[in-house]
Amino acid sequence: MSLPHPWVSHSILGVSNTAGQTAASRLKVVSAGLTDVGRKRNHNEDSFLLDDELQLYVVADGMGGHAGGGTASRIAVETIDKELRRAREGKDNPFLSVPNLQDSPIPEALRTAVEKACLAIYTAAQEDPRLSGMGTTVISLVVREEHAFFAHVGDSRAYLIRGDLIQQISEDHSLVNEQIKAGMITPEEAKHSRYKNIITRSVGFEEEVQVDVMGLVSEPGDVFLLCSDGLANMLEDKEIHEVVAKAPGLESVPKRLIDFANDRGGDDNITVIVVRVEA
């Protein structure tokens, strides 16, 4: 099996501005994304996807093996995109609009897409011993009219920035987060834990994975931020909020955040996607 070099960014890179797909759509979406190798690593195993046509956004942070991590994250973003496009063409199109958040089929479609990605990565790893043990985190976002849905595995994060509020939507599937929940360590200690890179779930490491899905009703002006732990571990939530709030335009936000994280040391690959909902 021939694979592209892992540090080539396997992503649709850039800034775009697309109005929603249907006439019924009241809200449009603007997005920007960027990835960076950071200061300490010599190659980038993160992948990201900006699909403004589907209004699908994915960040994946690969890990394992020398070529495995980049491959796993690339397979993840490609599979999720492919699966959702296929679902849209199918007879049970999940992208049809529904009035209620909880009636939307998108969370299940997203979950299925991530599960398919998991199987695809696992299969690829089985076929090539050099890739065995690879896996990836996935944080994905689909914006559908005023609804926003997330599917999440691992320690990449989704944030909602609304006015003065910045809130982490996804709950990290990491050892330190489990320790915090069990009361073994405090959030403060977690920041300096040696084990903060250990994740408790990953896409593709096993044949199946449990996917968390979330959904919320968005408002004009909301900014969704997806990022790998290379950003989240370097900056405080407050600092992220400040950068987003002070940036002159959405396009400049990923670069500013990556520069900030690199100034702090850039311990890991850094990937940032920002998506703003506009009236």
What residues line the site for another protein (CB under 8 A)?
101-102, 107, 149, 160, 162-165, 167, 169, 177, 180-183, 186-187, 212-217, 219
In the complex, what is the shortest distance from the CB of residue 186 to another protein, in angstroms, rounded to a whole number? 6
In the complex, what is the shortest distance from the CB of residue 216 to another protein, in angstroms, rounded to a whole number? 3
Give the residue with the Cβ less far from another protein, 11 or 174: 174
Give the residue with the Cβ less far from another protein, 9 or 170: 170
* Residues 269, 37 contacting (CB under 8 angstroms): yes
Name the region of 266 (left: φ>0; alpha: ψ -120 to 50; beta: rest): left
Give me 17's structure tokens: 């501005």
In the complex, what is the shortest distance from the CB of residue 141 to another protein, in angstroms, rounded to a whole number? 13
In the complex, what is the shortest distance from the CB of residue 145 to another protein, in angstroms, rounded to a whole number? 14
* CA proximity to 216, closest of 139, 254, 159: 159
Give the residue with the Cβ less far from another protein, 96 or 165: 165
Give the residue with the Cβ less far from another protein, 82 or 162: 162
Give the residue with the Cβ less far from another protein, 43 or 162: 162
In the complex, what is the shortest distance from the CB of residue 166 to another protein, in angstroms, rounded to a whole number? 9
Give the residue with the Cβ less far from another protein, 99 or 129: 99
Angle CA 10–247–37, to nearest 5: 30
Give the residue with the Cβ less far from another protein, 107 or 230: 107
In the complex, what is the shortest distance from the CB of residue 113 to another protein, in angstroms, rounded to a whole number? 16
State the Cα–Cα distance between residues 221 and 218, nearest whole angstrom: 9
In the complex, what is the shortest distance from the CB of residue 161 to another protein, in angstroms, rounded to a whole number? 10
